[in-house]
Amino acid sequence: MLQLLLLLLLSSTADSQSQRVSGYKKANACVCQLNSTMWVFPAPKFKYVLEEVHTCEESLNNLQEELTFSSQRLPLIQDQFTNFTARLEPYNYLHSQGLYTELSLRQLGQELSQLQVDIDVVHSQLNNSETQKLSKEADRLHKHVNKMQTIDTLNMKTVKEKLRYLKNNVETCKSIPKDFRVQDKHCVRGLITNISDPITTKVSPHGKSYISGSWGKQAQNESEGQKNSYWVQPLLSSHIWGNTVRLYQTYEDFMASTNHREFTFASSYSHPSTNEGPNAVLYGEALYYHCYRSADVCRYDLETNEVKRVTLPGTGVGFNNKFPYCYYDCRLNSDIDVEADETGLWALYATIGNHGNLVISRLVWDSEVKSLNVTQTWETRLFKKAVSNAFMVCGVMYATRYVNEYREEVFYAFDTATGKEDNSLAIPLEKVAKAVASLSYNPTNKQIYMYNDGYLLAYQAYFRSEAL
Ligand SMILES: *[C@@H]1O[C@H](CO)[C@@H](O)[C@H](O)[C@H]1NC(C)=O
Ligand SMILES: *[C@@H]1O[C@H](CO)[C@@H](O)[C@H](O)[C@H]1NC(C)=O
Ligand SMILES: *[C@@H]1O[C@H](CO)[C@@H](O)[C@H](O)[C@H]1NC(C)=O
Ligand SMILES: *[C@@H]1O[C@H](CO)[C@@H](O)[C@H](O)[C@H]1NC(C)=O
Ligand SMILES: *[C@@H]1O[C@H](CO)[C@@H](O)[C@H](O)[C@H]1NC(C)=O
Ligand SMILES: *[C@@H]1O[C@H](CO)[C@@H](O)[C@H](O)[C@H]1NC(C)=O
């Protein structure tokens, strides 16, 4: 610091104060007159520099203090971190195994409460060591589940959740009131209340061995071209890829498996326009589906044979079997699902950005500029791998889970018009085989189509307002 000070002083004298002095001869000597004021010690400057050094020292001291403080605090913070990590571990395990949803935690809690009630009854009647042990065990389990729930609502999660909620509201605002449900005369208010037993049951025309694919009826009312057509889209290669769609002009032809037309929309099973995973839907004059090894949705025009595509929005859109439908059995490469309803076309998928939870994007075909667009995106809190399938009705997404080999259950709904969700549903769907490859709703007749291993099933959906 002394050296620095010296340097500053020297430089301050050197540059501004140098002066040329001329001498003269006086009695054999050279005399020159010096203006001594230039040598005067620059006290004000010194004072200034000294002050600078002091303040510098002060801030250095402050910095030093802060450093000491942080290095003392850091281990404490790290300890806290370690503690949190340890407490979160069971929760993380569930999460990484794809088994976790807040819903499943809550359900576990409810189930345990019921168990405790049952145990209490037995305990009050018998009151022996066995029932005491049982009672304690249930208590301990319940506390554990409650703890997991409180950890779950820690600040970071809450903040993120608020953010998601706001984001969804913004997306909803984009569509209200111009073109959404309020305006859509075909949309019923209220959720699905009941689903009939299968009203159509048929083995896939390609045979029962093709366990993955999708099928349905033309989903657009106004469409002239394929007005009442039924279509089947099996995944002929490894139960993952398909490049053809089979069309029947009438229900009778479809049921009899006669008079079909086959459309080929990709030249091979690894072509960029190949269909990957069970997810297709026929809407108007085009088949919409997830395209080969990409985050894209394709639109194959049955009239022009042209394929157009759009990339889905989101950070780390899952494809290539990253976020398939999984509840019981994972259905290979069912990452991106395309659906149609009264309000138009939708893509259901999951992103890393939304922690593997379901994301809903609205698709629009702009026929003027021949472009497939995404207009809005909502983020749900439903872990995609924890549902067996999903479909859209009037802007509401419904998700199903496996109950047993012969039954699925609609258990969750997310309304894009309000951003609200309901996970208290329990609407059963009977089926004939274990796994559900695809499930989609048809707005023209309010039927639901299921590709159930090699079986094709259809159901009638009922709504609250119709029952009233
Ligand atoms: C000495 O120098 C100072 C400033 O450089 C000047 O103001 C002053 O007039 C000079 N004195 C003489 C005697 O030349
Ligand atoms: C974490 O901290 C809490 C309270 O601060 C303590 O009760 C608990 O035992 C700690 N857990 C671990 C795993 O260190
Ligand atoms: C069971 O018996 C113990 C002692 O015999 C008693 O303290 C306890 O309250 C009883 N519990 C119930 C649930 O009856
Ligand atoms: C729902 O549908 C099932 C089967 O079709 C029927 O048995 C049941 O009564 C219906 N429930 C309601 C509430 O409509
Ligand atoms: C769709 O996207 C294209 C290209 O970005 C754009 O020109 C067109 O206006 C969009 N259409 C709609 C309906 O958003
Ligand atoms: C389709 O048309 C039928 C009658 O033509 C009508 O009852 C139905 O509500 C329409 N559905 C849609 C989604 O446009």
Looking at the CA of residue 35, tell me the nearest atom of ligand 1: 1
Nearest CA to ligand 5 atom 3: 371
Query: 255 C-alpha to center of ligand 1: Å?
Result: 115
71 pLDDT above the threshold of 70 = no
- The answer to whether the Cα torsion of 450, 452, 455, 459 is positive or negative is negative
Whether residue 20 is contained in a domain is answered as no
Q: What are phi and psi of 127, to 5 degrees?
A: 50, 60
Query: What pLDDT is attached to residue 143?
Result: 73
pLDDT, one tens digit per residue, over 365-374 is 999 999 999 9
pTM (two decimals): 0.63
99 pLDDT above the threshold of 50 = no
**In this predicted structure, which of 31-40, 91-100, 414-423 has the lowest mean pLDDT?**
91-100
Arithmetic mean of pLDDT over the chain? 78
DSSP annotation of 401 reads E
Query: What pLDDT is attached to residue 191?
Result: 86
pLDDT, one tens digit per residue, over 353-362 is 899 999 999 9
Nearest CA to ligand 5 atom 4: 371
Question: Which is more confident, 62 or 305?
Answer: 305
Whether residue 275 is contained in a domain is answered as yes
Give the integer Cα–Cα distance in Å for 420 and 172: 11
Please report which helix (H) or strand (E) contains residue 354, including its range: none
Single-letter amino acid, residue 186: H
Ligand 5 pocket, mutate which of 174, 361, 369 (most atoms under 8 A from CB) = 369
Provide the domain count of the chain. Answer: 2
Percent of the chain with pLDDT over 70: 63
Nearest CA to ligand 4 atom 5: 196
Query: Which candidate, 192, 205, 276, 290, places its Cα nearest to that of 238?
Result: 276
421 pLDDT above the threshold of 60 = yes
145 and 195 together in one domain: no
116 and 213 together in one domain: no
Ligand 2 pocket, mutate which of 83, 143, 150 (most atoms under 8 A from CB) = 83
Highest mean pLDDT among 61-70, 163-172, 380-389, 412-421: 380-389
* Domain that includes residue 350, residue range: 180-463
Pocket of ligand 1 (CB under 6 A): 35, 37-38
- What confidence category does residue 234 fall into, taking pLDDT thresholds of 50, 70 and 90? very high
pLDDT, one tens digit per residue, over 138-182 is 677 667 666 666 655 443 354 456 556 656 666 665 554 444 444
Domain of residue 242, CATH code: 2.120.10
- What confidence category does residue 246 fall into, taking pLDDT thresholds of 50, 70 and 90? very high
| Residue 82 beta carbon below 6 angstroms from any ligand 2 atom | no
Q: What are phi and psi of 135, to 5 degrees?
A: -60, -45
136 and 215 together in one domain: no
Percent of the chain with pLDDT over 90: 50
Whether residue 298 is contained in a domain is answered as yes
Mean pLDDT, range 123-144, rounded to an integer = 69
Q: Please state the separation of Cα 412 from the chain's center in Å.
A: 16
Question: Which is more confident, 115 or 160?
Answer: 115
Whether residue 12 is contained in a domain is answered as no
